[in-house]
């Protein structure tokens, strides 16, 4: 069983059927855990939302651009994070939940999880991996996505995309 640690008590693990599940460890010494989510459910909901957002952006997006790929990747990370947090609310202690809301740790681990899960060329994986490993740049750019939720208005997504691309170009990130 493969485990990806998100917090001290929160893991994504791949079961014997090769299905990823989000679990909360209640008592590690007794191997007691609570399954929170089937990660396929998260993936399906996020992909549906991302496809809608991509439709908004079609006339703005350059095909096969690293900037666009990074924008979409971070959008997925944010939506994964939101979906997971929404489902964790009743399962974690309040202080654990509040800490996850405040820092980017969960987003960072989700990004690493998605990097291994997404179907990307080796070149694109290398590019995103380098971005993720630069934690300061990751945090800085991820801040743009802090207010994203499912069902955002078209104009908000377009504005966010334009600000994100402007920042990448103005600061010579990824160029």
Q: Which residue has the tokens 């691309």?
A: 165
Q: What is the pLDDT of residue 63?
A: 65
Give the SS3 label for residue 11.
Answer: strand
Question: Tell me: the pLDDT tens digits for 10-30?
Answer: 889 888 888 999 988 877 676
Question: Cβ neighbours of residue 48 under 8 Å, at least 6 residues apart?
Answer: none
pLDDT exceeding 70 applies to what percent of the chain?
95
| Position 175 pLDDT exceeds 60 | no
pLDDT at 111: 93
| pLDDT at residue 159 in the model | 92
Question: With pLDDT > 90 as the criterion, what percentage of the chain qualifies?
Answer: 34
User: How many other C-beta atoms are found inside a 10 Å radius of the C-beta of residue 109?
Assistant: 19
Average pLDDT over residues 139-163: 91
Banded model confidence at residue 3, pLDDT cuts 50, 70, 90: confident
Decide if pLDDT at 75 tops 90.
yes
Output the six-digit token pair for 22. Answer: 């989000």
List CB contacts of 135: < 8 A, sequence separation 6 or more. 108
pLDDT in tens, 80-130: 999 999 998 887 778 888 888 888 888 999 999 999 888 788 888 888 888
* Chain position carrying tokens 């999880």: 113
**Quick one: tokens of 117?**
């899960």
Give this prediction's pTM.
0.90
Q: 56-84 b/e with 16+ CB inside 10 Å = b? A: bbeeebeeeebbbbbbbbbbbbbbbbbbb
pLDDT at 84: 93
Across the chain, mean pLDDT equals 86
Give the pLDDT of residue 100: 81
Helix (H) or strand (E) holding 2: strand 2-5
How far from 125 is each of 47, 66, 87, 117, 173, CA to CA, in Å? 19, 11, 29, 10, 17
């Amino acid at each position: 069983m493969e485990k990806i640690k998100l917090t001290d008590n929160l893991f994504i693990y791949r079961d014997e059927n090769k299905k990823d599940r989000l679990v909360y460890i209640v008592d590690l010494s007794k191997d007691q855990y609570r399954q929170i989510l089937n990660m396929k459910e998260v993936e399906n909901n996020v992909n549906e939302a991302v496809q809608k957002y991509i439709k908004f952006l079609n006339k703005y997006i350059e095909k096969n651009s690293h900037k666009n790929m990074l924008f979409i990747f971070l959008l997925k990370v944010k939506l994964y994070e939101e979906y997971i947090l929404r489902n964790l609310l009743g399962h974690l202690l309040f202080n654990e939940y509040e800490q996850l809301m405040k820092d980017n740790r969960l987003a960072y681990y989700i990004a690493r999880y998605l990097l291994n899960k997404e179907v990307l060329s080796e070149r694109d994986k290398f590019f995103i991996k380098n971005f993720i490993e630069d934690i300061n740049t990751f945090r800085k750019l991820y801040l743009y996505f802090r207010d994203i939720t499912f069902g955002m208005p078209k104009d908000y997504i377009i504005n966010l995309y334009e600000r994100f691309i402007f920042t990448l170009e103005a600061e010579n990130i990824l160029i």
